Amino acid sequence: MGVFAYTILTLSLLGVLLAAILYFVASKFRVWEDPRIDDVEKMLPGANCGGCGYAGCRAMAEALVREDDISTLYCPVGGGECMKQIADFLGKAAPEREPMVAVVRCGGSCEKRPRTNTFDGARSCAVSASLYGGETGCSYGCLGFGDCVNVCEFGAIRINPETGLAEVDEEKCTACGACVKACPKGVIELRKKGPKGRRVYVSCVNKDKGAVARKSCEAACIACTKCVKACPFEAITIENNVSYIDFTKCRLCRKCVAECPTGAIVDVNFPPRKPVEAAASATPSATPGKVENPTSVAEAPAQTAPEVKPETKK
Amino acid sequence: MLKTFPIGGVHPSENKLSREARIEYFPLPDTVVLPLSQHIGAPAVPVVAKGDKVVVGQLIAKAGGFVSSNIHSSVSGTVVSVDLAMTASGLRQPAITIRREGDEWAEGIDCSSELVRECTLEPAEIIRRIADAGIVGMGGATFPTQVKLTPPPGKKADVVIINGVECEPYLTADHRVMLERGEEVLVGTSILARALGVQQCYIGIENNKPDAIAHMKELAESFPGIEIVPLRVRYPQGGEKQLIAAITGRQVPSGALPIDVGAVVQNVGTALAVYEAVQKNKPLVERVVTVTGKPLAQPANYLVRLGTPISALIDHAGGMSDDVGKVIGGGPMMGRAMSHPEAPVLKGTSGVLLMRQKESHRKQPDTCIKCAKCVSVCPMGLEPYLLSKLSKKRMYAEAEPERIVDCIECGSCSYTCPAGLPLLDYIRLGKAETLKMIRARAAKS
């Protein structure tokens, strides 16, 4: 019996001693954390996409609790509703932002922008862009290897096999900006989603002079300045041979869309125009350009790829 | 046992189709396009305007910084434009376009073929002449030569190595230069040694050019201090660090430059250009280019004025055919496929290679089976499969301690990969991104 009593006693004493140490350590080295951080983190969508500029939702929650003025903090995924809920909870003024969406500014589909060569290197936009101008005559547009698709956490972007261009699913896009950073050509931009998703934008980033740009792509902006003249709100500027619509100034009147001779200015989610208006908008200059045949092998090499082309082993 | 570098390397089929073809003077082009950035470093700044009359050898663009290079007109005629022009990569870059009218050379240039052996100039004067002539590394790296000849304070070269290795398959430009202009190369070598105050020079030549080795050995007898070193055939022996290791046994440490082990490496073509610049006062306006490939009727070596369209070279050598799948600027290992063969010959264009359709396609990439063949062939002792994967996942911070920036982009890993993975494609991208990261960090601190 003595052995049992001895054992129980020793272990109990040991337990009490360790508990005392643990209690001391816990009270001495305690790190106080605002319990609201946990609550705010739960309110955030938990996508950990980094779209807010912080390293994940936890860091964003910490910042939201810490800062007095949270007007510069915004979760693009949760949007206005989520931010309002958090702001109410914290008793701070809710930051307000227009809902944004990623926009692919390139209209150079396979048919409008003929391929002049084939890239058989690594299937990556970044690799292709670091090596050469691309598979078409336009060295500015969408390369179509889908670096943006790979970084999108929400499955909101895909490469349309018919056009060879990246396409954004508006419903799924949270405007986190990951694709904007991933695109080596800077084709994707975050723009205001607009009322009922209606937007007008220039779907081209080609900085070549008009004639050169047009030669490589039918849908290219040729910097003709017609849109600048047509815009009643001074929202359109032309820099480096490419037009740009400032979405903070644009009032969606669509006068520029009708003027654009190459169809580089695109309007989305608008109801179809009335027939009379449509007839008036069909300017004579909107004739389709000559479709260039892809250069044949005899004239130019049809295959282009990066270095390291080991010859076939004998 | 012949010398070679200690680790890695491959031996692709040599295919030196144009080895017997004598260097031909290529007919003068009607128009030349001279991009302002034909070298590593800052682009040159144009000193002529549209409509100006120029003569051969006249300065048309001045070096735009310390690491930069002068550019001279390669024809006499009228400047048609100073504007963007298409390069072989399909990107538009600033260039000067000149329409040729006759062939008038600038005053003071000695165009005779007479050999001028004696050089009694001061080192500073030699370097000044080389800088004025716009000479860059002619092997393809295009690093301005005067910068290499000006070691940073506290460092001194004790050996000059001339690279006559030409380890790239197909290319024969350096081989022909050594056979036909060997004496000039040797004089150029001694001028380089004089500029650096070096007594010992080596010319490394791979053993697949026995005629060049014998010829150069015979000529070198009258040049004390220059030794011809035959080397075992192994790619990438022409890499600076590999060549230094092969000839002197010295290892350039990671992150260091050849000058840190007392070596300066120059290409055979550069030595020839140095000879012409210093002894003949002739700036860099022409170079030897190999035009080769199995689809071509007459693979050839041409002495071409810079700025000549590459398509003209191809036409002269037999022309394009339906069988051509790819046109490569440089050799098959390190060269770049061209999307615009109308682009001009540049200072670094050592060759133009046409590949047949069936040879030109890459293998469909498969899964890495961790066979480590890439590791065993890497001449820098890196782990290409790992670097490639890290780059693909954009993990540049992890790739840095794996020495991704030491990669010399020789392509041995991609060449040897049984899964046909585009290893180098990703490594090259990762290397560029890692260098950006390192530079940003340096700028911050």
With CB atoms and an 8 Å threshold, state whether A139 touches B411.
no
Task: pLDDT band for A280, please (50, 70, 90 cuts).
Answer: very low
Per-residue pLDDT of B333-367, as tens digits, reads 999 999 888 999 999 999 999 999 888 888 889 99
Q: What is the DSSP letter of A171?
A: T
With CB atoms and an 8 Å threshold, state whether B362 touches A121.
yes
Query: For residues A266, A272, A277 and A278, what is the CA-based torsion angle, rounded to 10 degrees?
Result: 70
Q: B402 pLDDT exceeds 80?
A: yes
- The whole-angstrom separation of Cα B31 and Cα B98 is 6
With CB atoms and an 8 Å threshold, state whether A121 touches B91.
no
Which helix or strand (DSSP H or E) is residue A213 part of?
helix A210-216
CA torsion sign for B357, B362, B364, B369 is: positive
With CB atoms and an 8 Å threshold, state whether A132 touches B91.
yes
Strand B263-267 versus strand B45-46 pairing type: unpaired
pLDDT value of position A274: 67
Say yes or no: B429 contacts chain A, CB-CB below 8 A. Answer: yes
* One-letter amino acid of A64: L
Residue B219 neighbours by CB distance under 10 Å: 16
Per-residue pLDDT of B22-40, as tens digits, reads 999 999 999 999 999 999 9
Q: Where do we find the tokens 């017609």?
A: A226
Distance from CA of A69 to the nearest CA of B (A): 29
Task: pLDDT band for A275, please (50, 70, 90 cuts).
Answer: low
Distance from CA of B205 to the nearest CA of A (A): 23
Domain boundaries, chain B: 1-25+114-361, 26-100, 373-444
Using alpha carbons, list the distances in angstroms from residue A4 to A8, A10, A11, A16.
6, 10, 11, 18
- The whole-angstrom separation of Cα A253 and Cα B119 is 76
Say yes or no: A159 contacts chain B, CB-CB below 8 A. Answer: no
- Considering only residues 39 to 78 of chain A, which have any Cβ-Cβ distance to chain B shorter than 8 Å? none
* Residues of chain A with C-beta less than 8 angstroms from the C-beta of B360: 303, 305, 309
With CB atoms and an 8 Å threshold, state whether B13 touches A299.
no
With CB atoms and an 8 Å threshold, state whether A303 touches B360.
yes
Q: What are phi and psi of A177, to 5 degrees?
A: 85, 5
Q: B44 pLDDT exceeds 60?
A: yes
> A132: closest CA among A308, A260, A314, A305?
A305
Say yes or no: A150 contacts chain B, CB-CB below 8 A. Answer: no
- The whole-angstrom separation of Cα B284 and Cα B274 is 9
With CB atoms and an 8 Å threshold, state whether A311 touches B422.
no
Say yes or no: B414 contacts chain A, CB-CB below 8 A. Answer: yes
Q: Where do we find the tokens 């903070």?
A: A248
- The whole-angstrom separation of Cα A126 and Cα A134 is 11
- Considering only residues 364 to 403 of chain B, which have any Cβ-Cβ distance to chain A shorter than 8 Å? 365, 392
Instruction: For B359-393, give one letter per residue: b (16+ CB within 10 A) or e.
Output: bbbbeeeeebeeeebbbebbbbebbbbbbbbbbbe
Say yes or no: B275 contacts chain A, CB-CB below 8 A. Answer: no
Say yes or no: A131 contacts chain B, CB-CB below 8 A. Answer: yes
Q: What are phi and psi of A132, to 5 degrees?
A: -165, -175
pLDDT value of position A191: 93
Per-residue pLDDT of B216-243, as tens digits, reads 999 999 999 999 999 999 999 999 999 9
Q: A310 pLDDT exceeds 70?
A: no
- The whole-angstrom separation of Cα B189 and Cα B381 is 31
- Kindly report the CATH number that applies to the domain delimited by B1-25+114-361: 3.40.50.11540
Residue B429 neighbours by CB distance under 10 Å: 24
Nearest CA in chain A to B14: A311
pLDDT value of position A289: 40
Task: pLDDT band for A19, please (50, 70, 90 cuts).
Answer: very high
- The whole-angstrom separation of Cα B178 and Cα B186 is 9
Which domains does chain A carry? 35-90 (1.10.15), 100-283 (3.30.70.20)
Say yes or no: B12 contacts chain A, CB-CB below 8 A. Answer: yes
The percentage of residues in chain A with a pLDDT greater than 90, rounded to a whole number, is 57
SS3 for A103? strand
Task: pLDDT band for A276, please (50, 70, 90 cuts).
Answer: low
* Residues of chain A with C-beta less than 8 angstroms from the C-beta of B327: 301
Per-residue pLDDT of A181-212, as tens digits, reads 999 999 999 999 888 889 999 999 999 999 99
Q: Are B329 and B309 in contact (CB under 8 A)?
A: no
Say yes or no: A211 contacts chain B, CB-CB below 8 A. Answer: no
pLDDT value of position B361: 84
Instruction: For B19-40, give one letter per residue: b (16+ CB within 10 A) or e.
Output: bebebbebebbeebbbbbbbbb
Q: B167 pLDDT exceeds 80?
A: yes
Task: pLDDT band for A81, please (50, 70, 90 cuts).
Answer: confident
pLDDT value of position B383: 96
Mean pLDDT rounded to a whole number for chain B: 94
Q: A304 pLDDT exceeds 80?
A: no
Task: pLDDT band for A5, please (50, 70, 90 cuts).
Answer: very high
With CB atoms and an 8 Å threshold, state whether A309 touches B337.
yes
First vs last Cα of chain B: how many Å apart?
50
Per-residue pLDDT of A137-176, as tens digits, reads 899 999 999 999 999 989 999 999 999 999 999 989 988 8
pLDDT value of position A298: 40
B190 conformational bin, left if phi > 0, alpha if psi -120 to 50, beta if neither: alpha
Distance from CA of B386 to the nearest CA of A (A): 16
> Strand runs (DSSP E) across A173-264, as ranges?
188-192, 199-202, 236-239, 242-245
With CB atoms and an 8 Å threshold, state whether B324 touches A310.
no
* Residues of chain A with C-beta less than 8 angstroms from the C-beta of B359: 309, 311-312
Which fold would CATH assign to domain B26-100? OB fold (Dihydrolipoamide Acetyltransferase, E2P) (2.40.50)
Distance from CA of B128 to the nearest CA of A (A): 34
- Considering only residues 209 to 268 of chain B, which have any Cβ-Cβ distance to chain A shorter than 8 Å? none
A175 conformational bin, left if phi > 0, alpha if psi -120 to 50, beta if neither: left
- Partner-chain residue, chosen from A127, A139, A301, that has the shortest CB–CB distance to B326: A301
Q: B204 pLDDT exceeds 50?
A: yes
Nearest CA in chain B to A313: B13
Using alpha carbons, list the distances in angstroms from residue B322 to A212, B197, B215, B348, B359.
28, 53, 40, 28, 14
* Residues of chain A with C-beta less than 8 angstroms from the C-beta of B90: 117, 132-134, 137, 139, 304
CA torsion sign for A297, A300, A304, A306 is: positive
Q: Are A144 and A158 in contact (CB under 8 A)?
A: no
Nearest CA in chain B to A116: B339
Distance from CA of A299 to the nearest CA of B (A): 7
Half-sphere exposure for B372 (CA within 13 Å, toward CB): 3
Cβ-in-10-Å burial (0-12, 13-18, 19+) of A188 comes to buried
pLDDT value of position B140: 84
Say yes or no: B89 contacts chain A, CB-CB below 8 A. Answer: yes
SS3 for A162? coil
Q: A50 pLDDT exceeds 90?
A: no
With CB atoms and an 8 Å threshold, state whether A304 touches B332.
no
Q: Where do we find the tokens 């890695």?
A: B8
